[in-house]
Amino acid sequence: MSGALPCVAVVGVGRLSRPMVVRLRRAGHGVTVSNRTRERALDVAAETGAQVVNSPREAAASAGIVIVSLSDDQAVREVYEASDGLLAGLRPRATVLETSTISPETVLALVPQVQERGAVLLDAPVSGSVELATRGELTVLAGGSKEALDRVRPVIDVLATRVLHFGDSGRGSVMKLAVNSLLLSMATGLAESLVLAERAGVSRADAYDAFTQSAASSPFMLYNRTNFVRPQEAATHMTLALVAKDLALVDALASSVGAPMAQMTASRGLIAQALAAGLGEQDGSVLAEFLRSGAVTPPGVPRAASRTTRPHHP
């Protein structure tokens, strides 16, 4: 392994950050990992030879570049601010790549704390699937110092094929929420349209193939085909609970800037019903199954009057 390559710490081993560790190690980087559930860190270490440490503080102390990938704002704040947290171990002149999907306000609150340590924080959430992460084809949506971003490009380029910079701190997180708002609206629309075609007599597979060969096609639709067409084989790309978390962040951002979000409001209503039905830990594509169940109450319609027609098969 070349000593010229920077060492990287990864705090949080999840669906997207795990393949990041794999790619960084294959590229020759020394990698230290820290995760609240230690077994996940040990698992990726066994595969890659990454070093496992006991705390975010130790992880940050080990490297000049720190990648943070966590589930929500509370987890991020705890990881930075705890007594054994990232800030306590952060090196001067280090760069933190905050890839979590979190509120821009959380990013802006963390920036000065990182600066007090003589380091730089970039909000750098990523867009893409596990498959794209595995191939190193993510898109990075970055906010913060362009100079700092340029310095860490050799590491980012192992993980992503597109790096989009939006200017000041927080704007990368703004764009991640905007992208996710669009994707999650697509997901609910896809579920509704698929069930519509099924009930009108078109087979599920044929309907999905038509979607992917129409103007509606997108990478999102292509990599979710199995989950929507054969839900019994569904892999978990993003749980419905995390979908709901992201839409709550979108709602808060929209409220703060006065942006009308009628589609998001409708999606949140459907997702709230699915969560109440106990589907929160399933992949977001479970919305199609929920619609098929006939348990959905349209807005403003009493449950007893909601549509419960069984699917019509050709």
List pLDDT tens digits, range 57-95: 999 999 999 999 999 999 999 999 999 999 999 999 999
Q: Does 167 have pLDDT greater than 70?
A: yes
pLDDT value for 301: 45
pLDDT value for 181: 97
Tokens coding 66: 């720190």
Tokens coding 223: 């990599």
| Euclidean distance between CA atoms 184 and 274, whole angstroms | 14
Q: Does 214 have pLDDT greater than 90?
A: yes
Mean pLDDT of 225-254: 95
Which range among 184-193, 251-260, 299-308 shows the weakest confidence by mean pLDDT? Answer: 299-308
According to the 3-state scheme, what is the secondary structure of 153-184?
A: HHHHHHHEEEEEECCCCCHHHHHHHHHHHHHH
271 vs 314: which has the higher pLDDT: 271
Mean pLDDT of 20-38: 97
**Residue 300 CA: distances (Å) to CA of 38, 192, 294, 304:** 46, 18, 16, 12
For tokens 């929507």, the residue is 228
| Three-state secondary-structure class, residue 7 | coil
Q: Does 18 have pLDDT greater than 60?
A: yes
pLDDT value for 295: 87
Q: What percent of the chain has pLDDT over 90?
A: 90
Task: Note the pTM of the prediction, 2 decimals.
Answer: 0.91
| Euclidean distance between CA atoms 256 and 64, whole angstroms | 35
| Euclidean distance between CA atoms 263 and 98, whole angstroms | 28
**Residue 207 CA: distances (Å) to CA of 140, 198, 231, 247:** 32, 8, 15, 27
pLDDT value for 299: 62
Mean pLDDT of the chain: 93
Would you place residue 108 in the very low, low, confident or very high pLDDT band (cuts 50, 70, 90)?
Answer: very high
| Euclidean distance between CA atoms 258 and 11, whole angstroms | 34
Shortest CA distance to 10 belongs to which of 115, 107, 96? 96
Determine whether 26 is exposed, middle or buried from the number of CB atoms within 10 Å of its CB (0-12, 13-18, 19+). Answer: exposed
pLDDT value for 309: 41
Residue 189: partners with Cβ closer than 8 Å, 6 or more residues away:
none
Mean pLDDT of 132-137: 96
Q: Does 303 have pLDDT greater than 50?
A: no
pLDDT value for 5: 86
Mean pLDDT of 208-235: 95
